[in-house]
């Protein structure tokens, strides 16, 4: 597939042109959403959760793959042969991108991401028995995704988290000690190649050192590239290479709809596996009433049933695009964005960057473009879902609130102990989901322009300064922590599933589609300036600051809803009685008082202490920019 037209330009110009063309090819660029404050062109900053489709890959699938599409379980027909060749071409593309010798490594397409890949790995290594395995111990790092921790814990093996050092990475000295402790066990190391919360990522040398440490003691080395895969080089060549890697290709640029990819050492991972992890059609050469003979080719034996053919081909195309751009090019562009974003955000007194007290957070040569944060309001914090809602409604920016499927890491970041965690879960089960730890996350991705990065930084800063003024314009669902606008949206962003088949098939009066037009850079910059100006007006119209000061009596101060002109009440809500040592619970939620009062009445774990008016805490109880990180000399990383 020729990805982009040939260009006659200098190397630097050609590189910039490459990123611009891919940026402009994103499907959904300049899509319009309707918000309570008017229409906005969306700006996607949620690349950590999913990549974006691009026109030239979709065109390739529509024109080169689908016309000859058929099931791959035959090569006797032209369509079966053509589709099989396309799918195997995708597999070969991945081998080349990862420098994975086909004689040593197998490339398998599994499910829709890392979760399915790890499940297949576990089945291959541990079998499908639900019985506890007390002979195997799995080591994981400090910032594992749920998929790479819960899965092992639920398989009944021993699981040990390797504590982080001051750099935020797994401490290799502790790993050595743990391996000595469990030297009589079967050992597996399964580590994340990058945090999807803080963006902290190990260097290639660190990963090689960890692989060597594991292999010298007979342990397997597995790397989870769910978060880091779209951005970093994955190298399975040379000494101290990993024994397996798992990748969520749907997070790549051009990757939505792609299969998950498992690349594993044929002998170490699958050498003892006679029966496929999932037996079924396409895995056998002979089946009698009493016997089954399975195919010898591992790629076929581990692909029962009809594979996700189009998904697999998309995965190969996404890897081709990544190789064309080069991981080095992607990293350089992200580094450029981060050198601009992090110093500005870290210096804002109301913005708390999650994980900024780890040394590797500031290693711009290796960290990812992922940034998670909380916004202070007085001695409280704005709820992360509220911040995400304001970024969407006022600016059109797509971000994501929550714990990023990294609950154990969140507990460590906020120093939440097991007792406190259990009590918070009790409250969440009582329909108070807003108490769960979380943050707002954005991604300063390589395929954002400098103007888009500037806009996201400016928008976050505006929300930090003025976002609390919009609290009275939203109601919160205590169970889901969704913030619902009190004013009516004139429009609907949802696209109900289904086609108008009468119009499509019977020749209705459907107008021809308009050619896709993307605003040029100047128009986009003008639009960003307009949104920032409109935001200033929106905050001014909202009136005086919403100050959740200590009220004469519970539950808080009274305010007037500027939309309905009716009295509304907001209050701080704290769970200080649960665990005074938990950093997360040293914060207060700024919430409508009816929600806070209901929580007070029904939550199992609250005490009378919560019913008293808010006791102002000392500023020293809250993390401050000075405690996050000493001033950083950026020249260190340039």
Q: Using alpha carbons, select from 145, 69, 23 the residue that is nearest to residue 402.
A: 145
Domains and CATH numbers, the chain: 11-41+326-485+522-541 (3.90.1150.10), 58-324 (3.40.640.10), 557-619 (no CATH)
CA 240 to chain centre: 28
- Percent of the chain predicted with pLDDT > 90: 57
**Are 319 and 93 in contact, with CB atoms under 8 Å apart?**
yes
Would you state the pLDDT for residue 315? 98
Residues 6 or more apart in contact with residue 192 via CB below 8 angstroms: 140, 141, 143, 144, 145, 148, 223, 224, 226, 227, 228
Residues 6 or more apart in contact with residue 260 via CB below 8 angstroms: 109, 110, 111, 112, 113, 114, 115, 116, 117, 246, 247, 248, 249, 250
Q: How far apart are CA 387 and CA 402, in angstroms?
A: 11
Q: Using alpha carbons, select from 170, 88, 614 the residue that is nearest to residue 360.
A: 170
Q: What is the pLDDT of residues 469-490, one digit of tens each?
A: 998 888 877 777 788 888 777 6
Between 607 and 34, the more confident residue is 34
Q: Tell me: pLDDT of 582 over 80.
A: no
- How would you class 507 by CB atoms within 10 Å of its CB: exposed for 0-12, middle for 13-18, buried for 19 or more? exposed
Would you state the pLDDT for residue 501? 76
Where residue 198 falls among pLDDT bands split at 50, 70, 90? very high
Would you state the pLDDT for residue 497? 78
Would you state the pLDDT for residue 73? 81
Q: Encode 132-164: b = buried (16+ Cβ within 10 Å), e = exposed.
A: ebeebbbbbbbbbbebbbbbbeebebbbbbbeb
Where residue 590 falls among pLDDT bands split at 50, 70, 90? low
Question: In terms of residues, how long is the chain?
Answer: 638
Segment 72-94 mean pLDDT: 94
pTM of the model: 0.84
Q: Using alpha carbons, select from 181, 237, 180, 249 the residue that is nearest to residue 213.
A: 180
- Percent of the chain predicted with pLDDT > 70: 78
**Are 121 and 147 in contact, with CB atoms under 8 Å apart?**
no
Q: Tell me: pLDDT of 623 over 50.
A: no
Would you state the pLDDT for residue 634? 34
């Amino acid at each position: 597939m020729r990805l982009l037209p040939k260009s006659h330009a200098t190397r630097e110009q050609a590189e910039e042109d490459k990123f611009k063309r891919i940026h402009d090819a994103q499907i959904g660029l300049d899509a319009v959403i309707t918000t309570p404050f008017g229409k906005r062109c969306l700006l996607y900053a949620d690349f950590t959760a999913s990549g974006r489709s691009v026109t030239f890959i979709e065109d390739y699938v529509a024109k080169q793959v689908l016309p000859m599409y058929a099931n791959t379980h035959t090569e006797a027909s032209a369509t079966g042969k053509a589709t099989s060749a396309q799918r195997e071409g995708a597999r070969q593309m991945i081998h080349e991108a990862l420098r994975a010798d086909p004689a040593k490594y197998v490339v398998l397409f599994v499910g829709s991401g890392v979760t399915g890949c790890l499940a297949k790995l576990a089945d291959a290594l541990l079998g499908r028995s639900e019985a506890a395995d007390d002979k195997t111990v799995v080591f994981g790092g400090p910032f594992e995704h749920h998929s790479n921790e819960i899965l092992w814990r639920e398989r009944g093996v021993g699981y040990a988290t390797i504590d982080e050092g001051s750099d935020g990475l797994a401490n290799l000295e502790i790993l050595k000690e743990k391996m000595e402790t469990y030297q009589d066990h079967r050992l597996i190391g399964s580590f994340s190649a990058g945090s999807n919360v803080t963006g902290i990522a190990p260097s290639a040398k660190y990963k090689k050192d960890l692989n060597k440490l594991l292999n010298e003691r007979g342990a397997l080395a597995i790397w989870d590239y769910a978060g880091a895969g779209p951005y970093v080089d994955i190298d399975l060549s040379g000494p101290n290479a990993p024994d397996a890697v798992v990748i969520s290709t749907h997070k790549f640029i051009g990757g939505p709809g792609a299969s998950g990819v498992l690349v594993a050492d044929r002998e170490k991972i699958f050498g003892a596996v006679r029966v496929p992890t999932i037996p079924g059609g396409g895995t056998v050469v002979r089946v009698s009433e009493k016997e089954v003979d399975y195919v010898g080719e591992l790629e076929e034996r581990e692909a029962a049933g009809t594979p996700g053919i189009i998904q697999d081909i998309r995965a190969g195309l996404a890897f081709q695009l990544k190789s064309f751009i080069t991981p080095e090019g992607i990293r350089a562009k992200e580094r450029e964005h981060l050198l601009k974003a992090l110093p500005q955000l870290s210096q804002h007194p109301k913005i708390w960057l999650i994980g900024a007290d780890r040394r590797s957070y500031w290693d711009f040569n290796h960290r990812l473009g992922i940034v998670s944060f909380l916004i202070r309001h007085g001695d409280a914090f704005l709820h992360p879902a509220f911040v995400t809602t304001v970024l969407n409604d006022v600016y059109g920016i797509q971000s994501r609130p929550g714990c990023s499927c990294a609950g154990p890491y969140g507990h460590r970041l906020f120093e939440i102990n097991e007792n406190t965690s259990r009590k918070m879960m009790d409250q969440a089960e009582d329909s108070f989901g807003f108490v769960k730890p979380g943050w707002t996350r954005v991604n300063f991705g390589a395929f954002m322009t400098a103007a888009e990065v500037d806009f996201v930084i400016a928008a976050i800063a505006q929300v930090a300064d003025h976002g609390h003024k919009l609290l009275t314009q939203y109601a919160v669902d205590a169970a889901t922590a969704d913030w619902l606008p009190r004013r009516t949206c004139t429009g609907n962003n949802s696209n109900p599933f289904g086609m108008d088949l009468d119009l499509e098939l019977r020749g209705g009066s459907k107008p021809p589609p308009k050619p896709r037009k993307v605003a040029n850079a100047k128009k986009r910059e003008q639009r960003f300036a307009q949104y920032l100006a409109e935001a200033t007006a929106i905050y001014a119209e909202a009136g005086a600051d919403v100050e959740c000061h200590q009220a004469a009596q519970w539950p808080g101060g009274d305010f007037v809803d500027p939309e309905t002109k009716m009295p509304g009440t907001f209050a701080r809500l704290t769970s200080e009685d649960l665990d005074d040592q938990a950093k997360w619970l040293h914060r207060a939620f700024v919430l409508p008082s009816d929600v806070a009062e209901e929580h007070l009445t029904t939550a199992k774990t609250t005490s009378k202490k919560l019913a008293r008016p808010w006791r102002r805490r000392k500023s020293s109880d809250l993390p401050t920019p000075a405690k996050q990180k000493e001033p950083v000399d950026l020249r260190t990383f340039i």
